[in-house]
Amino acid sequence: MFIIKCIYLLLCVYCIGAVLHTRLFNRAGGESTAGRLSLVFGLGAGTLGLGVFYVSLLGGPIDFRTILLFSGVFLPLFMYDMVKKVRKGRSTITKPNGQPRQRIVQAICIAVLVVSMALVLFRALFLPMHLADDRAQWGLKAKIYYHEKTVWAEELFDAQRLIYHNAYPPMVPVLESCVYAALGEVDDATVKVLFVFFYTGVLAALYAAQKRFTTDTKALLLTVCMAMLPVFIQDVHGNPSSGYADVPLAFFYFSAIVALIRWIEKGTDRDVWLAGLLAAFTVFTKKEGLMLWGCSFVVVLPVVLKRAKGKGLFFAAYLVVPVVLLAPWFYYCAQIPVPPWEKEFSLSALRFSRLAGNLFKLPVLLEACGTLFFSTRHHGPFWFLFVLCLLSRPRNVGVFPVGFLSLLILFNTVALLFAAYIFAFPWWTGMVYDFPRLLIITIPLALLCMAYQLYGESRECNA
């Protein structure tokens, strides 16, 4: 029975995503098969996580019956859309193309991607959750949701029980609790398969984003570069099989940025609404998501202001949509007691005395930057090659989208370092080890930037 429930859970994610894609965002995000499947998964997983959380917020249980009822809203629409597609004879499969030599290269690239995903899957199933954040943060809350069947569990509101990052965004633990509900038990190994799907989604989204302006072969080559980075294969914390939320965060964030770029390039309104929804999922996945959303808004704002039209739409979609969708969650967070040490993770720490008194942290943070750039242990020579790629066509760095992506990477990196610098919590002491994991969010952006630099055409956007 649990196998049937797990299959239904996957179908539920697909049905929700497919309905939203067909009815709201059709033709948004590109038309390649990889792009559609990646977007469908993101919309389905994000909507399921947000929906189940809000059902529980209103008093409903977190169990498989809730998943059934929630998916029941989308299932009839999905069946109706499928019947329409069958009648029209519409095919959604596109095959790689090219000369025989290119097809050989494509086959090798696909084989490498399959091996990479197989390794991540093996590592996910080989070990249960055993690291810090996956157990004490995501895993613990997921088990509370599953056993207590509510987000209002007493364990989450007892000030004497200091749960690590209790007020953190709950997308990952809610989705994990849905997997537990389908399994009918807590399984710390099988639940990590969820992160393999997010990893596959990032790879598919990166490939699809490049496919808009280059060939299959070139898009596959840079996608393989990401799949071969040590941080995704060898590292304990960065690996998607670890159960950390960095890969789901990278998936939603990258998908939002790609939709934003497409809206600026093509002017399709659906893309900016899609970017707003994916930005909401980003904020709902990890606390850094709020910072990423803010950085992306600041960086893209000058480009938007240069446009002849669409300014009001941008503010409505990219600012208002996340705020409205997440307002109940912000209210919920306000009810959760926060441990004294965790209050340091707030803007109240932004004061001159703190800034001046933390200069002793600079050597550690600079060491983290140096280790990332000059060591091949985590990201290989990736960032060195990225800088060389930017220098190969320096004129493109000042125009869109290369300039936009480069600034976004810079803002995100500086923001992470500044957070480590200002907060008193001793997390900064391990920055040398955590920095490669935290910068996973920038790797797809950097690869897309390199693709535009090598294969695409940067241009001023006044559309």
For the chain, what percent of residues have pLDDT higher than 90?
Answer: 52
Averaged pLDDT, 316-340: 89
pLDDT at 242: 85
Helices 140-148/171-183 angle, 10° precision: 50
- Residue 426 pLDDT grade (very low, low, confident, very high; cuts 50, 70, 90): low
Averaged pLDDT, 290-315: 86
Determine, yes or no, domain membership for 410. Answer: no
pLDDT at 462: 40
Lowest mean pLDDT among 130-144, 208-222, 241-255: 130-144
Q: Which tokens hold the place of 169?
A: 């965004």
Residue 421 has pLDDT above 60, yes or no: yes
- Residue 457 pLDDT grade (very low, low, confident, very high; cuts 50, 70, 90): low
- Judge contact between 37 and 286, C-beta under 8 A: no
pLDDT at 98: 61
Determine, yes or no, domain membership for 93. Answer: no
Averaged pLDDT, 192-199: 94
| Domain hosting residue 37, numbered range | 2-88+111-339
Residue 308 has pLDDT above 60, yes or no: no
Tally of structural domains, the chain: 1
Mean pLDDT of the chain: 86
For the chain, what percent of residues have pLDDT higher than 70?
Answer: 88
- Judge contact between 287 and 345, C-beta under 8 A: yes
pLDDT at 163: 76
Residue 29 has pLDDT above 50, yes or no: no
Residue 42 has pLDDT above 60, yes or no: yes
Give Cα 452 distance to the centre of its chain: 21
pLDDT at 269: 87
pLDDT at 93: 54
- Higher pLDDT: 238 or 241? It is 241
pTM of the complete model: 0.94
Determine, yes or no, domain membership for 64. Answer: yes
pLDDT at 463: 38
- Residue 235 pLDDT grade (very low, low, confident, very high; cuts 50, 70, 90): low
- Higher pLDDT: 74 or 346? It is 74
- Residue 461 pLDDT grade (very low, low, confident, very high; cuts 50, 70, 90): very low
pLDDT at 362: 85
pLDDT at 442: 95
Determine, yes or no, domain membership for 154. Answer: yes
Q: For residue 409, give Cα distances in angstroms to 260, 320, 417, 441.
A: 15, 24, 12, 9
Residue 367 has pLDDT above 60, yes or no: yes
Residue 90 has pLDDT above 60, yes or no: no
pLDDT at 238: 65
Determine, yes or no, domain membership for 48. Answer: yes
pLDDT at 378: 83
pLDDT at 193: 92
Lowest mean pLDDT among 308-322, 351-365, 375-389: 351-365
- Higher pLDDT: 157 or 462? It is 157
Determine, yes or no, domain membership for 438. Answer: no
Determine, yes or no, domain membership for 115. Answer: yes
pLDDT at 127: 82
Determine, yes or no, domain membership for 253. Answer: yes
Q: Write out pLDDT tens, residues 116-126.
A: 999 999 988 88
Amino acid letter for position 67: I
Averaged pLDDT, 174-188: 94
